[in-house]
Amino acid sequence: MKKWFFLLVLLLIVSYGYTRFLPADTNGQLPEIDYQMQEEILQENDKAVPVTIEDIYKGNLVLINEEYPVSPSGAESEAITLSDHWESVNGFVLLDHNIRLAPSLLRSFSTMIEAASHDGVNHFMLTSGYRDTLEQGELYEELGPEYALPAGHSEHNLGLALDIGSTQGEMAHAAEGKWLKENAWKYGFILRYPEDKTHITGIQYEPWHFRYVGLPHSAIMYEKNFVLEEYLDFVKEQKSIVITLDEQVYEISYHPISQSTTIQVSANDSYEISGNNMDGVIMTVHTSNQDETQSNAARSEGNGV
């Protein structure tokens, strides 16, 4: 009898101690205060990047075609006339003195041309750069819909496209065209209207028309043989992609935008935002912590390339 009484008392003591230190109602979750403390720590290591509706229409990945025109907020406004800056015309010649490029695009183009010269390819001619809508309208009237797009629907109106020729012959056969087809992606450029994608782009094969999208996007598009339309669909479908390129880690993510908002990124990482000109933005984060990003990649829905 004493034995049973002792066991009963011990059971009551243990039960009281157990219930004494349980949260009142956990519902299968951590106590609220622990969760709040964790959230505060994350906020200290992150920064909130503001994103507005206007950001949908700006950036290196903006899609421009017959369906999606250049937004006034996305058009190039800093293009310079190259013939007024002859010191910047190195390694290539100009078709005429009216060609304009944005300084940032000129730097990327010049870097690419210099790399080609090291491979013995050095007969480049720049035939067209930035055009305003008035110039595009005149070109459309002159050439018609088979050879030009309406005003506002050309990538030249955006300021991220250029037409590159060769002084040695047609780009489809010249060494300059062949070199660019294989190497332009290394410098952020893509062949925008390839021969095997006319059913997607709606544009005939143009071996001279190159578009700047920037790394790492140009690398993925080259590796997967994507045109811009396909790539934007791919990013939207995957939602998040993590890749390693030249030992640099990038996370690319799609974010639908219907109102002004913020996107959280690590305070230690650099980033770029580009709209798709349709319904959202693509955030490209260049991380400073490769191990952490690769760990995140294992948990993401996207697949790296």
Domain assignment of residue 263, given as a range: 48-299
Three-class secondary structure of residue 66 per DSSP? coil
Average pLDDT of 108-135?
Answer: 96
Give tens-digit pLDDT for 33-86. 222 333 334 455 789 999 999 999 999 999 999 999 999 877 877 999 999 999
Helix (H) or strand (E) holding 127: strand 124-128
What pLDDT, on the 0 to 100 scale, is given for residue 77? 76
Q: Which of 60-69, 159-168, 173-182, 292-301 has the lowest mean pLDDT?
A: 292-301
Query: What angle, 0 to 180 degrees and rounded to 10, lies between the N-to-C axes of helices 175-183 and 103-118?
Result: 110
Q: What is the pLDDT of residue 2?
A: 43
3-state secondary structure of 17: helix
Single-letter amino acid code for the residue at 53:
I
**Structure confidence at residue 291 (pLDDT):** 47
Residue 224 is assigned to a structural domain of this protein = yes
| Residue 199: CATH number of its domain | 3.30.1380.10
Using the predicted structure, report yes or no on whether residue 181 has a pLDDT greater than 50.
yes
| Beta carbons within 8 Å of 176's beta carbon, 6+ residues apart | 116, 121, 123, 124, 164, 165, 166, 168
In a domain, 198, yes or no: yes
Q: How many domains does the chain have?
A: 1
Q: What is the pLDDT of residue 302?
A: 39
166 lies in a domain?
yes
Which residues does the annotation mark as catalytic?
206
pLDDT of residue 303: 39
In a domain, 12, yes or no: no
d(CA 47, CA 50): 10
Q: What is the mean pLDDT of residues 283-292?
A: 72
Residue 259: burial class (beta carbons within 10 Å; 0-12, 13-18, 19+): exposed
206-238 per-position pLDDT tens digit = 999 999 999 999 999 999 999 999 999 999 999
Tell me, yes or no, whether 187 lies in a domain.
yes
User: Does residue 3 lie within any of the structural domains?
Assistant: no
Does the residue 233 lie in any domain?
Answer: yes
Q: Does residue 17 form part of some domain? A: no
In the prediction, which pLDDT does 6 show? Answer: 44
Q: How far is Cα 184 from Cα 194, in angstroms, rounded to an integer?
A: 13
pLDDT(195) > 60: yes
CA distance 179 to 143: 29
107: three-class secondary structure by DSSP: helix
pLDDT at 44: 59
Residue 304: other Cβ atoms inside 10 A: 17
Expressed in percent and rounded to 5, the helix, strand and coil fractions of the chain are 40, 20, 40
* Mean predicted lDDT score pLDDT of the chain: 84
Q: Residue 107 pLDDT > 60, yes or no?
A: yes
Residue 267: per-residue pLDDT? 87
CB contact at 8 A, 31 and 257? no
Predicted pLDDT of residue 19: 34
For the cut 70, the answer to whether the pLDDT of residue 277 exceeds it is yes
- Quickly state the pLDDT bin for 288 (edges 50, 70, 90): low
**pTM for the complete prediction?**
0.80
Residue of 236, 248, 213 whose CA lies nearest to 282:
236
The token pair at 246 is 């030249």
Question: Which of 225, 138, 146, 217 is closest to 181 using CA atoms?
Answer: 225
**Residue 300: per-residue pLDDT:** 38
